[in-house]
Amino acid sequence: MATDIKDTACAVDAAAVMRLLPARPRLLALGEPTHGEDTLLELRNELFRELVEQEGYRTVAIESDCVTGLVVDDYVTSGTGTLDEVMERGFSHGWGAFAANRELVRWMRAHNDGRPASERVRFAGFDGPLEITGAASPRHALTALHDYLSTRIDASLLPCTGETLDRLLGADGRWTDPAAMRDPARSVGQSAEAGRLRLLADDLVALLDAQTPHLLATASRDDWDRARLHGRTATGLLRYHHWMADTSPARMTWLVSVRDQMMAHNLLALAARGPALVHAHNSHLQREKSTMRMGGRPVEWWSAGALVSAQLGDEYAFVATALGTIRHQGVDTPPPNTVEGLLYALSEDRCVIDAPRLAAALGGALPAPRVSPWFGYSPLDPAHLADPDGIVFVKDVPPSPAAGRS
């Protein structure tokens, strides 16, 4: 059996990843089982550079705020701003503090310098403006969409004025109160004003769709794409806030589902634009249901990857990352009867695994699930070993200068 397992592994590079797939997918997603490790981000950078240069991918999307990500895209495509400003303003969840993310942005800008627009690599965040502690006010997304429409179409078609939006939104602090995550009564998401805003956001998005031929004839597609992003974000945030105010047992399921649905909508929009590379936690990209316990309750939902895969089929590919050790977090050598333990016995420090072949090599001998002593690391689920198109295995993850990730 050891020989069979070894035969499923090869060195990590773009060619090895592409050999796992029948054709180049429109979305190629690389997951990670933990956040905040520069070793994994550096490996992502190496693979993504090769896939851009060898396979023609033209967008790099990461698990960061889709709206602030526009700041990064402006910088890498046209040099707007400075690298320091972009790393501070263009990322959410503390991602801008990581050296490997800074190197990714620096490389993208250098790669694009002097190239025609059709050959430039774009950057995208595909997460919503959401944190574990709460969600952003819908103000920015709603007003950006309204401003776009109000300068391009007859004012009589608009469902409201900017002043009406401002009045209904009120102070942003009402929306961003972190206490609302634990206490639904602190949320404004089911107030009369929030209900009115949901209807107005829906009408503004409908108006954007209805006026598409005119808008594309009179302004750039990039501006239209950004207006659609603001529309998706506004409606998603208002739905998220609505469920933050809910008191039913379904509250947390709705919250995590809405977040991944927002991610999925952003990924489908990127796929419509052209081939894109995606990086996020395995749980957001996998095809099977995601699960966790929150507040003592089990929560299950379909990830962004599952939603996208259901629509794109073979045009979506997912390569999970698995780890041997993260000793600085108390994750030591994996037990030999786990998937990670079997892979840890291989001689390579890093390798690409053909996941379906590995599952076949193991036959009916399902490995034991690995139990992580640290909440921040999610081992592979042996029951779903054949679900990803491949696995990148990293034997040991050393400590790195870390920044926060919520």
CATH code: domain of residue 327: 3.40.1660.10
Q: 10 Å Cβ neighbour count for 155?
A: 9
Q: Final residue of a domain: which of 208, 233, 262?
A: 262
33 and 379 in contact (C-beta within 8 Å)? yes
Q: How many residues does the chain have?
A: 406
Run of H or E residues at 160: none
Average pLDDT, the chain: 95
In a domain, 74, yes or no: no
Q: Indicate whether 296 pLDDT > 90.
A: no
H/E run at residue 133: none
Last residue of a domain, which of 262, 283, 303? Answer: 262
With residues binned 3-state (H G I as helix, E B as strand, rest as coil), the percentages for the chain, rounded to 5, are 50, 15, 30
How much is the pLDDT for 2?
45
Residue 328 has pLDDT above 80, yes or no: yes
The DSSP code sequence of 206-263 is HHHHHTHHHHHHHS-HHHHHHHHHHHHHHHHHHHHHHHHT--STTHHHHHHHHHHHHH
Indicate whether 405 pLDDT > 70: no
Per DSSP, 21 falls in state S
Positive or negative, the Cα torsion across 390, 301, 404, 262? positive
CA distance 305 to 266: 11
Q: Where among 217, 241, 262 does a domain terminate?
A: 262
Q: Which domain holds residue 169?
A: 136-262
Residue 96 reports pLDDT greater than 90: yes
* Short-list 75, 124, 102, CA closest to 276: 124
Helix (H, G, I), strand (E, B) or coil at 375: coil
Q: For residues 242 and 26, what is the distance between their CA atoms, to the nearest angstrom?
A: 33
Give yes or no for residue 299 having a pLDDT over 90. Answer: yes
Whether residue 380 is predicted with pLDDT greater than 90 in this model: the reply is yes
What is the tens place of the pLDDT at every residue in 278-289? 999 999 999 999
Tell the residue number behind the tokens 């489908």, with chain if given. Answer: 268
The percentage of residues in the chain with a pLDDT greater than 70, rounded to a whole number, is 98
400 confidence band (pLDDT: 50, 70, 90): confident
Q: How far apart are CA 130 and CA 406, in angstroms?
A: 10
Q: Are residues 222 and 285 in the same domain?
A: no
| CA–CA separation, 347 and 178 (whole Å) | 47
* Number of folded domains that form the chain: 2
Confirm whether 20 is domain-assigned: yes
**Assessment of whether the complete model's pTM goes beyond 0.75:** yes
Shared domain for 224 and 287, answered yes or no, is: no
Q: Residue 282: inside a domain, yes or no? A: yes
Angle, helix 162-169 to helix 139-150, in steps of 10 degrees: 170
pLDDT-based confidence at 70, cuts 50/70/90? very high
What band does 401 get if pLDDT is binned at 50, 70 and 90? low
pLDDT value at 349 more than 50: yes
